[in-house]
Chains A and B, each alone.
Chain A
Amino acid sequence: MDWLYIVKLIVYVVLVGVVAAPNIGLFFTWMHRKLGARMQWRIGPPLYQPWADVVKLLSKETIIPATAHKTTFLVAPPLAVASAVLAIVIMTPFAPPVQVYHISFTGDVIVVLYLLTMPAIAAMIGGSASGNPYASVGVQREMTLIFAYELPFIMAALVPILKVGSLRLADIIGYQLEHGPILFSVSGFLACVVLIMVMQAKLTLPPFDIPDAKTEIVAGPYTEYSGASLALFKLAHAVMLFAVPLFISDLCLGGLIVRSLSDPVTLTLDIVLIVVKLVVLVLIAAFIRFFNPRIRIDQAFGMFWKTATVIAVVALALSFVPLPYF
C-alpha cells in the first residue's frame, strides 16, 4: 500500500473539502444576498453575515418534533454536507492537470452527477422523517423537480462527453485546453444554456425555489429543522452554490485550471480566468434569481420537459456533426 499517497490524499481532502469549499460557498451566498439587496434599492448584509448565521445556528438548541423519526431526522443534514463536499473533492478544482493530486478517474462525471443530487435526497429523507405536512408537500415538490430536470441535465452533460469521447473530467478539461472551451461551439453553447437552467433548479433558486416556497409551505422540507442540523443544511446549500458552477465550468468553460505554476504571466492570467468563470456563473444565477417570480411545479415540469429537453436534443444532435465549430 502506498502510504504517501494516502497522506497526500488526506491533506488534499482537508484542504479542499473542509477549508476551501464551505468558505467559498459562503462567500458566494453573501454575494447573492448583497447583489439581491442592491437590486432592490437596499444596502444588504455585511460580508461576515453568512458565517455569523452558521455559527449562530450551530449554537442554538436542536428540537426534534414528536412525530419525527429521530435517527433519520438527525442523519440527513450531515449526509447532505458530506455528499456536497465529496462532489467538490472529486471534481478537483484548481488542479493543474499534471499534478499527482489529480484523482480524476474514468466515469467520475457520472459519480459527480449522482453526488450533486444527494443533498436534495438528504433533504427529502430528512423532510419526510420530520412528519410535518408542509415538509411532506415540500418533499413531493422536490422529487418532482428532481426528475423534471434529470433528462435535460443528463443530455446537456452528454454533449461535452461525446465531443471529447471520454468520461474522465481530466480528459474533458485537457480537450478544452487545446480546442478552447466547449462553450464556443454551437452545441456547447446550447448545452451551457440548458445547464444554467438546471443549475437554477438544482440550487432551488427562484424561479424554481418551489420546494421551500416561504409563502406557500412555510419552509418546505426544512420546516422542522432548528439549531445545528439547520446550520448543516445551510452549509450544504452554500457548498452546492460552489459545486454546481464548478461542475458546469469543468464541462463547458474549460475548468478552473492553473496551466503552469512556474511562469508568473500565465499564472496570473489563469487565476483571473478562474475568478471570472465562477463569478460570472454565480452572477447569472443571481440575476435570474432576482428578476423572476416563483413558477408553479407543473409549469416548471412543462418548462423542463418541453423547452429544455428540445434544446438539449438539438445540442446533442449538433455535437455529432464533425465540423469544427459545431
Chain B
Amino acid sequence: MTGLVTWARLKSPWLFHFNSASCNNCDIELVDAITPRFDVERFGILVEGSPRHADILVVTGFVNRQAAPRLRRIYEQMSNPKIVIALGSCATSGGIFANSYNAAGPVDRVIPVDVYIPGCPPRPQAIIDGVVKALMKLQSLGGGKK
C-alpha cells in the first residue's frame, strides 16, 4: 500500500506559489515552466490556487517584514506531507537585497526549507530539476511522518 501511495505522491506533485517581495522574475520563470516550451504538466505538476490543495510550497523573493507572518500562516495552512522550495537567489540568500532594512531574512529563517534553487532568475530547466530533487525528498519521507 505505501508503495502505491509513494508512487502517487511522486507522480502528482501540486505546487502553490508564494511571492514574498520578489522582483517577479522568478515567478515569470515558474510560469514559463508551465507554458508549451517546458510544459511541466507532463510530469503531473499543476499550480494550485489554494494552499490546502498543494504539496509543494514554492517561495520566491527575499522575505520582507510584511510577508514573513503571512508566509508562516500559509505554511501552516498546507496539509502534510509538504515540501518547501526556495526559488531564486533572493529566496536562498536574500540576494542583492540582503541588507535592506525591510528584510526578514531569507526563507529558511522563516520556515524550514527542503530544496534551494539558485539563479537570478533560475532557468525553467533549473526549476524542473529542483522539483525533481524535492520529489526525491518526498520519496524519502515515505510513511509521511513529516
Contact = CB atoms under 8 A, between A and B. Distances in A.
Question: Which of B36, B44, B144 counts the most chain A CB atoms within 10 A?
Answer: B44
Main SS of the interface on chain A?
loop
A56 B10 CA distance: 9
Given A37-B39, A61-B79, A56 B12 contact: yes
A226 B49 CA distance: 12
A52 B52 contact: no
A33 B41 CA distance: 9
Interface of B: 4-5, 7-9, 11-12, 35-36, 39, 41-42, 44, 48-50, 52-53, 55, 77, 79-81, 144
Nearest to B39: A42
A49 B44 contact: yes
A45 B40 CA distance: 9
Given A37-B39, A61-B79, A56 B49 contact: no
B41 to A, nearest CB: 5
Contacts of B9: 56, 59
A63 B54 CA distance: 12
Contact of B36 (A41, A49, A55, A56): A41
Given A55-B8, A56-B11, A63-B79, A230 B52 contact: yes
Interface stretch (A11-19, A216-224, A252-260, A288-296): A216-224
Nearest to B37: A41
B41 A42 contact: yes
11 contacts: A37-B42, A44-B42, A45-B44, A51-B8, A52-B44, A56-B9, A59-B8, A60-B81, A219-B49, A222-B50, A230-B52
A260 B97 CA distance: 75
Given A40-B36, A219-B49, A226-B52, A55 B4 contact: yes
Contact of B8 (A45, A46, A52, A219): A52
A225 interface: yes
A40 B42 CA distance: 13
Nearest to A212: B49
A164 B48 CA distance: 47
A69 interface: no
A48 B80 CA distance: 23
Contacts of A43: 39, 41-42
A44 B41 CA distance: 6
Contact of B53 (A37, A51, A58, A219): A219
Contacts of A58: 5
Contact of A60 (B4, B11, B35, B55): B55
Contacts of B36: 40-42
A211 B80 CA distance: 27
A227 B11 CA distance: 16
A59 B12 contact: no
A51 B35 CA distance: 24
A63 B77 contact: yes
A223 B44 contact: no
A21 B9 CA distance: 24
Given A42-B41, A63-B52, 5 more contacts: A56-B55, A59-B144, A61-B80, A219-B50, A230-B53
A59 B79 CA distance: 10
Nearest to B47: A214
